Amino acid sequence: EYLRDFRGISQLERELERRLVLKRVTIVPGDSDLDPTVKKELARATAQYLQGILQAGMTLAVTGGTTLAEVAESLPPSRDPWPITVVPARGGLGEEVELQANSVAARIAQRLGAQYRLLHIPDDLGEEAVLALQAEPRIRELLDQIKRADVLLHGIGSAEEMARRRGLPAETVRLLRKRRAVGEAFGFYFDREGRVVYTTSSVGIRQEDVPQITHVVAVGGGRSKAEASLSVISTGGQDVFITDEGAARTLLEIL
């Protein structure tokens, strides 16, 4: 607490809430680009926030990535079952297994004592096969549940880094550059103004489902994510932003 006040972090939180028009901004001290322990603090703050808003009967949709994987790790294991369902927000996005939304959803559910339902749709299916799978009653029902989630907890990535990490073809990378993509969240790439400029072919949450979700919580830190965070928040559907000082201070400079 002392460190927070000393660095004026509460003030920074209120300022970002006002300028980004968000219900809540939480900032942990430090910069996760420079110090890996800051990412752990970021995850811990997110885990705490999550436990505070979840209620029996809710559906929680989560994305993948290293930050979300860390959130799962920082949740204290629950002793009692909790009637909550955890689902992946999107199908495969070309991440390694441990970083996939399915894995993160299962891990978070285990920690919370919740149930989980997973989306088993490979990344590399053709459009026709995806349509056929989506028509399957059980998958369709799960996709409906995902869209009607009460809480969406998602990571933020810089467009460039995510394109690289997912091994997108050079042609797509060029397209992303041409369209000035700077941020990525749940499979959508956004420009600085928050316009969708590219969409991955995976199934699950769509940009138009987001405004209906009561708690949309974006988490991401490190100054390298400042512009990406701005682009994702500019879409207008976000409620809460959990970040670190590195991203927050850089964000204020570019706002």
- Span of 28-36, 117-125, 136-144, 184-192 interacting with ligand F6P by CB under 6 A: 184-192
For residues 88 and 102, is the Cβ–Cβ distance under 8 A?
yes
Nearer to ligand F6P, 160 or 239 (CB): 160
205 touches ligand F6P (CB under 6 A): no
Residue with tokens 């955890």: 86
Nearer to ligand F6P, 156 or 233 (CB): 156
User: For residue 253, what are the contacts with CB-CB under 8 A and spacing of at least 6?
Assistant: 226
Nearer to ligand F6P, 91 or 157 (CB): 157
User: For residue 68, what are the contacts with CB-CB under 8 A and spacing of at least 6?
Assistant: 62, 101, 104, 153, 154, 155, 219
Q: How many CA atoms lie less than 13 Å away from 248 in the CB half-sphere?
A: 25
Q: Rounded to an integer, what distance in angstroms lies between the CA atom of residue 149 and that of residue 36?
A: 31
88 touches ligand F6P (CB under 6 A): no
- Span of 23-31, 155-163, 203-211, 242-250 interacting with ligand F6P by CB under 6 A: 155-163
User: For residue 198, what are the contacts with CB-CB under 8 A and spacing of at least 6?
Assistant: 172, 175, 176, 179, 181, 188, 189
30 touches ligand F6P (CB under 6 A): no
Which residue from 30, 88, 91, 157 is in contact with ligand F6P, where contact means CB under 6 A? 157
Provide, rounded to whole angstroms, the least separation between the CB of residue 176 and ligand F6P. Answer: 13
Instruction: Provide the binding-site residues for ligand F6P, judged by CB under 6 A.
Output: 63-67, 93, 95, 154-157, 162, 184-186
